[in-house]
Amino acid sequence: MRAELIDGKAIAEAIRLEVAADVAALAGRGVVPGLTVVLVGDDAASATYVGAKEKASKAAGMRGETLRLPASTTQAELLALVERLNADAGVHGILVQMPLPPHIDPDTVIRHIRPEKDVDGFHPVNVGKLLIGHTDGFVSCTPAGVIELLIRSGVETRGAEAVIVGRSNIVGKPMAALLVQGRAGGDATVTVCHSRTRDLAVHTKRADILIAAIGRAEMITGDMIKPGAVVIDVGMNTKPDASKIKGTRLCGDVHFESAAEVASKITPVPGGVGPMTIAMLLRNTVRAAERTVLVTAR
């Protein structure tokens, strides 16, 4: 029986509606959540993604602003801008779009964003809070979105064998930290695989929940998947395809056709994890704004 599709677009839309309701409630108390995205350089993919974030922010009733800087911007100039945004009470969330030009160190920039405005969830303080199980920090948006997909699709994580293929700081590591937490969407037994893992298929075929975030087009094939497993494809890659006008097509880290014949549930690419990332970014920004109301009320 072919796998059931996990509709990330529909779930993301439901979250956006929830966010819009929260934004309206905050506006009634005189606070409009504000998200500022900083884009350095002219990377086409980043520009498209940033535009989608700004559009989604405004659609939810938030203040969405994009600051575009030339690729020649120095690290000192970028850090000075971050400090100005840190001090701006109307800016609740700050996101510096990656990748940055090679002369700017991304870790230095991330560390300069105040943790309470780090809605991307990359600051060491927020990463540390996730690891020790505190819920008052911000979680990286893509893995947080995966957890929402699992919960809202009725996937039981408690006691499940979860295998993550990929160990990045953006997805793999925070994904593992979320899945082992003792709360909804957690309590799983987690294995993290990577480029040095031996006999990868031995691990992936053991997974009740398989999360592919390795960044290699269609690397995970159906014969690597346990029958009935839930497959979450975080990848976003392009492959040559002469049948397409652009000569390429989008695909994930999972070979969808073969995987869908084995899995019980699977996310498509596009339309799976991707829409969830922006939805969770909006949710994080609203949470950041809500905290300013709580602080003022004290």
Active site residues: 53, 97, 120
| Helix 172-179 vs helix 124-132: crossing angle, to nearest 10 | 30
- The token pair at 46 is 């980043």
CA neighbours within 13 Å on the CB side: how many for 78?
30
Q: What is the DSSP string of 14-34?
A: HHHHHHHHHHHHHHTTT---E
Instruction: State whether residue 175 is helix, strand or coil.
Output: helix
Beta bridge partners of 65: 36
Q: Using CB atoms within 10 A of its CB, is residue 89 exposed (0-12), middle (13-18) or buried (19+)? A: exposed
